[in-house]
């Protein structure tokens, strides 16, 4: 069984409702939600001409391989009305695999650890809340150390 950390964000419609529904669907899909961070509101990242996001993080366990997990998460996004039109654009739900055990994957379709997680307060803040001593498999720093080094 793999231990995985998934970033969750929403900035359209019932943002908190979409987050809650995504967590329920993860459990329905065989992705066992172990712990969820607090939900924080943050300004958009990348493409800034859009509403603020609600973000949180889920610690999950699954028997899915990384690629099968990605497929399941994208199906959950589609089920909840996610449309992909603008990179980093508005969305009902966004589910990102941040860490999968200590695995490092670098393919065109999937990169683990998530390549930009160390620059994102909305990832590191909730990750530091639920797994402060978790070590980044490439950088060798804890989530708290990475959070303390970020510019907000």
Structure tokens at 23: 């967590």
Structure tokens at 123: 């990832």
The residue written with tokens 């399941």 in the block is: 72
Catalytic residues: 82, 91, 94, 96
Q: Which residues pair with 54 in a beta bridge?
A: 10, 41
Task: Give kind and range of the element (H or E) at residue 129.
Answer: helix 121-130
Phi, psi dihedral angles at 34 (to 5 degrees): -95, -45
d(CA 145, CA 119): 12
3-state DSSP assignment of residue 121: helix
3-state DSSP assignment of residue 116: coil
């Amino acid at each position: 069984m793999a231990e995985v950390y998934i970033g969750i964000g929403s900035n359209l419609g019932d943002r908190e409702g979409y987050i809650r529904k995504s967590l329920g669907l993860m459990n329905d899909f065989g992705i066992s939600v172990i712990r969820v961070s607090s939900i924080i509101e943050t300004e958009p990242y990348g493409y800034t001409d859009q509403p603020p996001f609600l973000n949180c993080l889920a610690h999950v366990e699954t028997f899915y391989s990384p690629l099968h997990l990605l497929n399941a998460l994208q199906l959950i996004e589609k089920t909840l009305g996610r449309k992909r039109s603008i990179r980093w654009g508005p969305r009902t739900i966004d589910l990102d695999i941040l860490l999968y055990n200590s695995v490092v994957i670098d393919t065109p379709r999937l990169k683990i650890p998530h390549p930009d997680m160390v620059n994102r307060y909305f990832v590191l803040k909730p990750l530091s809340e639920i797994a402060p001593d978790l070590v980044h498999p490439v950088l060798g720093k804890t989530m708290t150390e990475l959070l303390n080094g970020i510019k907000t």
